[in-house]
Structure formats: C-alpha cells, structure tokens
Structure 1
Amino acid sequence: MSRYEEFMGRVRGSRTIGAPPPLSRWAWVADGLLALSLAVATIVGNLNRSYVELRPDLAGAKTPVPGQLPTPPAPPDLPGVPAGPRPVPAVEHVLPPVEAWEAVAVVLTALPLVLRRRFPLSVYWVVTVAAVVLHLGDAADDATRITFASGLVAAYSAAMYSPHRRSVAASLLAGALLYAVFPLVPDVDSDLVPVLVLLPLALASHGVHLWRQRERVLRAEQEAALRRAVEAERARIARELHDVVTHNVSMMTIQAGAARTVLATSPDQAREAMLAVEAAGRTALSELRHVMGLLTMTVDGPDPAVDVELAPQPGLDRLTELTDRVRASGVPVEVEVRGARVELPAGVDLAAYRVVQEALTNAVRHAEGARVSVTVEYGEDRLRVEVSDTGGRRPRTAEPGGGRGLLGLRARLAVYGGTLDAGSRPHGGYRVRAVIPWEVP
C-alpha cells in the first residue's frame, strides 16, 4: 500500500457495516424525479428577479428611495375606536438578469441528487459548492429556499449512504460552516418553524430504520456465507478422508485376499501379504491421525502436533512409495516422468498425488489382472498426469457410492483451474487424465 492510499484510508475512516444494497429500478426513478423536480423549482425560483422588502425605517420619510412602492393612506382615526396598524413602506428590488454561469450553478444544486445513493459524499460536495457559487452572485430568495432543501437532502444522503464515517463527519462540519458564512440559509416565516423541526426528526427516524434494515440484511448474508463455508469445508474433509482411507483399505483387502488364497500352500507368501496389510493399516491410521489433528486444531488450545503425528501432505515426491505399495499387491505398475521436474505449489502437488492415488485404487479394485501405467509430464505452464490400465479379466461394475472419488478430484482440481477426464479407452481398459496449470513459485 502506497503512502497516498494509506493517507486516504485514514481520512476516509473505517467502512460501516451498513453498506447500501444494490439499487432497484424504482429507487433510481424516485431519485431522478426528486432531482428533476428540485432542479426545475430552483430554476423557476431564480427567474423571479424581483422581490419586495418592507422598510419600517422609511415611515414618515418625505423623500422616497428608488424602488419605493406607493404607501396606501392610513385609515382615519375614529372617536372611541382603537387606532389600527399603520401601513409599512415597501421597496421593490429588481435583480440583474441571470447569467450563464448562474444557470449552470442552479442546475448543479439539485440535478446531481440523482446519484445521491451511489456517490453520496461526492454529490454532497457538488451540491454544496454549487450553492455557494450561486450565492456569490445575485440569487433570488425563492432559489435560496430550494437550494437549502437540496442541501438537506444531500447531507442526509451522505450521512446515510456513505461508508466513510470520518469523511462524512468532516464534510458535514465544513458544510455547516459554509452555510453559516455565506447567505445560504433562507428567511422563513414563523409558520414554517414546526416543519423545519419535524422534518429532521422524520429524516432521522427513517435513517435509523434504514440502518437497522441494512444490519439485518448484512447479518443474513454473513450467516449464509458461513453456512456455505461450512458446507464447503465438509465437502473438503469428505474428499480428504476418502483419498486417505480408500487407497489403503483397498490395498489391505487385496493383500488379505491373496494371503487367504496362498495360506495353505505357501505360508511364506501369506506372511508377506499379511505384513503388507499391516503396513497399509499403519499408513492409513497415520494419515487419519494427520487429518483429525488438522480438524481439532484450535487457535488458543494446545498444539495438536504434540499428541498427533502431523506428517507433511504427500506429493509427487512420494510417487515411488505409492506405486511400490500397489506393486506389492500384485498389480504391475510402470511409471514414466517426462520433462524437467520442478517444485510445484503445495496445492497442485497434493492434487496431482491424489489423482494418481485415486486412479491406482480404482485399478486395483476394478481391473484385476491388468497392467497399469502412470505418466507425469511437466509442461511449460501446466502439469499433465495420466493413469491408464489395460483392463481386467472382469468388467467394471458400479458399486454403492462409486464415483465419489472422481467427483471429489474434479472439485479439487477446479480450485486450481485444472480439468479431469476419465473414461474407457478405445481398445479396452480405463484412463484417468488430469491437466493442472501451475506457476513456478
């Protein structure tokens, strides 16, 4: 972050939780009608270039001043009747014609309010500066009243819709000083005082209601996002447990079946098979403890690494160990690595390992008697992993819950922009091919 961005962040202040929701079509229409009506009213009011000023100080003056209107004669005093109010002299003032820059300022005092919810703070300053510029010239009293109303709407919009609290507070304070220094506050009759008192109260109550409504909407969005995160985490855990358990359990099943077959005729081979079952079981338990240690890890609690063996996540560097376990089960596996080996990102390395693990597991379970080939190719910007078999002595059959491993792999690869293609080969057998983009860290 640059110094300018840091400075602007401090000036704007923290964002509020009540960020405005997307505007509906009717909100745009309402703001457009409000801005247009205020702009038209300001233009019409500013065209009234004459006004009458009451001058009590001219009562009894013998020499009239320029623009003084004829004073009607006072009613005669009658005996026994209280004297009525005496006529007050009045002076008519005529302002100069409206200039072009004044017409532009008049339009800018109200028309920007159409964007008051989208850019509240900017609109507030445009309206305020335009009102100040307009009153640097000769503004009519009617135009002053409308520009004051437009300023109130702009200030309310800035306070309610701008997410930058510090900037809003400073802007409203500066605007109040401008309205106090320049003649921007109109003279109002005593009959309008209740309206001026009740209008801010109504705006404040509406603002509180709108604030609470936004808070409820934001809370609902946060709860929905939390539920989605929990569901995604559950799916990730399910994929991880599937990858950890299925492969080793499949190896144990194959080795146990082989031990049972040769137990009577070749006890030594049966003993080796049982040792392989034991090794696969230990590996499965170790990886399960690793996953469960990650799930029970807390920020404030004790370090789970003390009680759980947290081995690093597997990658293609453990490909030889993986294929050796499959060969021990009686399935011949050929491995070919193409291209210059590079250090992959941890996520890509783990995803590639899981692709090979799932494909070998499916080959052991569904392709009895087949030969399996594993190809890992390091390209310029992507990694290609392919596992294919020649087909077993019995056709593949669907099992309850089958296909979840491939679905999980597709979801895992999609995180890194990778693709997975799995299906039967034209000349028999099955092939799983994954392409994962990667970047050198």
Structure 2
Amino acid sequence: MDLLVGALVAALVVALAAAAALGIAAARARRRHRRALDERGWLLERERQAAATAAVGAERARIARELHDIVSHNVSVMVVQAGAAREVLAAGPAVPPDVAEALAAVEGAGRDALKELRHLLGLLAPAADGSDEGEDFAPQPGLDRLSRLVDRIAFAGLPVDVRISGEPRPLPAGVDTTAYRIIQEALTNALKHGEAGRAEVEVRYAERYLRVEVVNTGPSVLSGRAVASPAAGTGRGLLGLRERVAVYGGDLDARRRLGGGYRVRARIPLEAA
C-alpha cells in the first residue's frame, strides 16, 4: 500500500511539474508572439510613414517642377520684352540714361531669377545623374484639358458628368494646374478603387475662390460592401493634393459618403493666387 501511495504521489508530482513546464512554455510562447506582433506592427507603421513621406516628397518635387515651368515662362517673357524695349530705345531718339539703365536692370534681374529657379529645382528634384541641369518641361495641364480627361476616364469605364457654374475666366497658372490635378486624382481613384458606377465633377467660379468637387457613386457604407479606398482621405495622392492646395491657402476635404461612394472637395482662394 505504501508503495502504491508513493507511486501515486510521484506520478502527481511529475504531472504537476509537467503542467507547470507546459504553462511556462505557453506563457513564453505568448510573450514571444506578442512581441512579434508588436514588432510587426511597428515595422508596418514605419513602412506606412516612410511611404507617405516619400509620396509627399515626390509630389512636392512635381509641384516644384510645375511652378518652375510656370514662373520661368513668365519671367522669360519679361526678360525678352525688356531686352527688346532696350534695343528699340537705343536705336531711336536719345532717351534719358536712367530709362536704359532701368530696362537693363530688369533684364539682368530676370536672368538672375531664372538661374536661381533652375538651381532651386535642382535641389528639390535633382536629375538622375546628379547634375543641376533642368529638364525639358511640357506645358502643364489646366482646366482647358478637362474634357479630354473626362473622355479618357469615360472610355476606361467610368461615366462622368461635368457641371460648370459661375463665369469661367482665366485663372493663375498654378491654381489652374492644381484644380486639374485634383479632378484627375479623384477620378483616377474612383476608377481604380471601389465599385463606382459614375462620377460627377463640379467646377464653380466664385468671385474670390474656385471650388472643385468630385463625387462618385458606390455601395453605401451601411451595406458592408463599401471598399476602402485612398479617396477616403488617407491616400498618398491626396496627401500631395493637400500640399498643392495649401500652397494657395486653400483647403481640401476627402471622405466616404454615407449614401455610398466618395467625395473630394477643394476650395482655393483666388485673391492670394
């Protein structure tokens, strides 16, 4: 009997020890799993932040190139006109020396400004070979190319209705390009993400601001079938658009609509443009 009791006690001790060892091993495994999840979450967050930072940096570089194109064109025209005026005056009757000197100063300042713009572009968007030479810039798109953009999007499968309100008028080149880029990004997102059936674009010319709104249809968020999309306001492209709008003191709002689809709306002041 004593031997049986001793054997049972020994077996119980072994079982308790085994249970304790298994419990410790399970706790360690849970801690390792938790640490792995925390580390993975930290790495994913770092990757997300790095990607967002890179996207904003790329968009800023593109903004710099576009502004360079716009500003350099206007300054080049000023330089040419100042030089032409100086030559015309030099070939005509005698003019006060200060007039010729003023025109020469304008021409020289314009050329210096162009050099500084090229250098600034080289800092913001350096060439692949590391040189400080600017690239050939194509004319930047504006709202005059909206119909072609809408045709391309419609041909790709997303019908688009366009509504223009107010009195259309020439816009500052930077604002014009920004408005086009907003519509382009919103329509591209609507085409690529979600289940958009059609889209509506509204451009409103107010006295002191330009309003651009792009709305697309899609499943309601209440249906559970809505698909997450960068158009909800966290996409990298929209981060860049906010940078663009902020340059002109405007604001941009992008969010999912309760009734379905998404809305991107921007308001850009024209007085400060």
Give the TM-score normalised by structure 1: 0.31
Q: Which has more radius of gyration?
A: 1
Higher RCO (C-alpha 8 Å, min separation 6):
2
Give the TM-score normalised by structure 2: 0.49
